[in-house]
Amino acid sequence: MTKLMTDDTIIDRQRGTGSRTTFWLGVVGLVGAIALVFLGFFVAPPDDFQKDAVRMIFIHVPMAILTYVAFSLTAIGSVAWLWKRSIWWDTVAHGAAEVGVMFSGLTLFTGSIWGRITWGTYWDWGDVRLVTTLILFLIMVGYLAVRSFDGDEAVNATRAAVIGLIGAANMPVVNRSVTWWSSRRTLHQKSSLVNGKIEGLTLFTLMFALVVFSIIMLWMLIHRFRISWLERQVSEGDLSEALTARRAEARAGMDRETEENK
């Protein structure tokens, strides 16, 4: 990444946004995902109560955790943009928001499939974490909508950063209010990890899944970062090229005038 920032010619046009690091990161992520399928479906034992449905945990829980990691990055990046005008952090915030929206969407999707199997309903309004994640998802969809406004990129970055800030500051209140609101009728189990109810191979597979998904997320973030960085350079490059061309024209015109005057 540092190479990309110091010298934009390092990136080979043929290879896109990949580099040796991202190549191996991608390979590890892919192999890990295949191993996870094997571990999750064949090695980890079924649950006493949920039977095979418990295997959803290997996708749902890591996705949910990484959703919050991604949105935390967006919040940090937003603050860094507003405070230090750091383009680097602004680019991270944008990439993390996109990845986070995808992960939270998948969290909601896998959560409702799992809910259908174990609770018999796709959506449970009494479920604090599901409802909180939905609200966060909607706020971040708004963040991306603001990012897509036409006009000055720096202005949109400021707009988006304020939303990132509002979202982050309001999350505790959202979580608290949903907790109170739904306390009468919750279905979600208390965090099984903390209770120590998950153990042995299931716990190992879950931790393995978290590592694999983290690697995949990192891979996506780096690529997204590089794409944004290149986009920025292209738009800035266009402008400076156009300016140089106009200046050259003007200079040629002036030269001609002086020639004629002679």
Indicate whether 142 belongs to the interface with other proteins (CB under 8 A). Answer: yes
- CB of 152: closest distance to other proteins in angstroms? 9
Indicate whether 146 belongs to the interface with other proteins (CB under 8 A). Answer: yes
The 27-66 site mask, x for binding other proteins (CB under 8 A), equals ----------------------------------------
Stretch that binds other proteins, among 8-16, 45-53, 138-146, 249-257 (CB under 8 A): 138-146
Indicate whether 141 belongs to the interface with other proteins (CB under 8 A). Answer: yes
Indicate whether 84 belongs to the interface with other proteins (CB under 8 A). Answer: no
Indicate whether 117 belongs to the interface with other proteins (CB under 8 A). Answer: no
Quote the CA–CA distance of 53 and 182 in Å, as a whole number.
Answer: 25
- The three-state (H, E, C) secondary structure of the chain, written as one string: CHHHHHCHHHCCHHHCCCCHHHHHHHHHHHHHHHHHHHHHHHHCCCECCCEHHHHHHHHHHHHHHHHHHHHHHHHHHHHHHHHHCCHHHHHHHHHHHHHHHHHHHHHHHHHHHHHHHHCCCCCCCCCHHHHHHHHHHHHHHHHHHHHCCCCCHHHHHHHHHHHHHHHHHHHHHHHHHHHHHHCCCCCCCCCHHHHCCCCHHHHHHHHHHHHHHHHHHHHHHHHHHHHHHHHHHHHHHHHHHHHHHHHHHHHHHHHHHHHHHC
- CB of 169: closest distance to other proteins in angstroms? 5
Indicate whether 155 belongs to the interface with other proteins (CB under 8 A). Answer: yes
Binding test (CB under 8 A) with other proteins, winner from 174, 217, 221, 222: 174
- CB of 2: closest distance to other proteins in angstroms? 29
Binding test (CB under 8 A) with other proteins, winner from 9, 20, 42, 173: 173
Stretch that binds other proteins, among 17-25, 31-39, 91-99, 175-183 (CB under 8 A): 175-183
Greatest Cα pair distance in the chain: 98
Q: How many residues bind other proteins (CB under 8 A)?
A: 29
- CB of 171: closest distance to other proteins in angstroms? 10
Q: Where along the sequence are the contacts to other proteins (CB under 8 A)?
A: 82, 135, 138-139, 141-142, 145-146, 149-151, 154-155, 158-159, 162-163, 165-167, 169-170, 173-174, 176-178, 180-181
